[in-house]
Amino acid sequence: MLKPIVEAHRGYSARYPENTLCAFRQAIAVGAPSIELDVHASADGEIVVMHDGTVDRTSNGKGAIAQMTLAELKKLDVGAWKGPEFAGERIPTLAEALALTDASNVAFNVEIKTFASAKAVEKLVALLHEHAPRGGSHVVSSFDVNALLQVRAVDPAVPLCILGNADKILHQAEEMDFPWIHSHFAAVNGDVVAAAHAQGRRVMIWTMDKPALFQHYVRLGVDKVCTNCAAEMLAAQ
C-alpha cells in the first residue's frame, strides 16, 4: 500500500511562523516533499503569501492585504508573534516561495484565498511554470470554484484541487473534473476515498496533526496528508 504524501501546512508551522520562508525552508529541511501555502493579491497586484485577508493576526500591523501595496506589506514583521527568535521575518511573495523549488524540487499546493483580477491569475500560472518541480507540478487549490476555473482558463494543464465538505466537493470535482479533493480529516472515511478513487480523483486531508492516526489514513488510502507537524508526521510513516 502506497503511503500518502506528507504536505507541510503553511510550512513547518507547528514550530515556525506560518507562511514564511523560514517555515518553508524548515519543512524542506525535515524532508517534506510538498508544502501548502495561501495567497492574496496586494493593492498593486503582487501575489503575497498569507492565510488571512488581513495582516492583523500574524504581523505587527493592521489592515487588509488588498488595500496595501507590496512595499507596505514588506515593512511588516511576520515572525515575532511566534517568538522573538523569529523577529524580522517578512511576508513572502509567491515568487520568493516558489523559488525554493529550484534547489529542493519541493512541490507547492497554492491555495487561492482572494484574487480581484485576471492579471493576478495569469501571474500565478506563469510563476508555477517558471519554478516547476522536476518531473512533477505544483497544485492550485481553493474553496472558490470560480478561482479554480479562472486558473483553468489560463492553463488547463494546471492540477486543481477543490476544498470543502467531502460529500459536496466530491460531486463538484466530478462535475468540474478537478483531479484533487481536499477536506477536513474528520470528514473523510473509506467511502469518500473509494468514491473519489473510483472517479480517478485523489484525496487530501487537512489539518491532521496526530501521528497516532497516520496509519489509519494510510489504511483508508488517502493520497496526501496536510499537517502543521511535518517532521512528526514524516516520522510516523
Task: Check whether 1 has a pLDDT greater than 80.
Answer: no
* Angle at CA of residue 188, ends 186 and 192, nearest 5°: 160
Whether residue 9 lies in the annotated active site: yes
Are 92 and 19 within 8 A, CB to CB?
yes
Residue range 158-188, pLDDT digits in tens:
999 999 999 899 999 999 999 999 999 999 9
- Grade residue 90 by pLDDT with cuts at 50, 70 and 90: very high
Task: Check whether 98 has a pLDDT greater than 90.
Answer: yes
Mean of pLDDT values over 24-44? 97
Residue range 8-29, pLDDT digits in tens:
999 999 999 999 999 999 999 9
CA-only gyration radius of the chain, Å = 17
Query: Hey, where are the domains in the chain?
Result: 5-236
pTM exceeds cut of 0.95: yes
The residue annotated as part of the active site, out of 9, 40, 138, 182, is 9
The residue annotated as part of the active site, out of 51, 131, 184, 197, is 51
Q: Which fold has domain 5-236?
A: TIM Barrel (3.20.20)
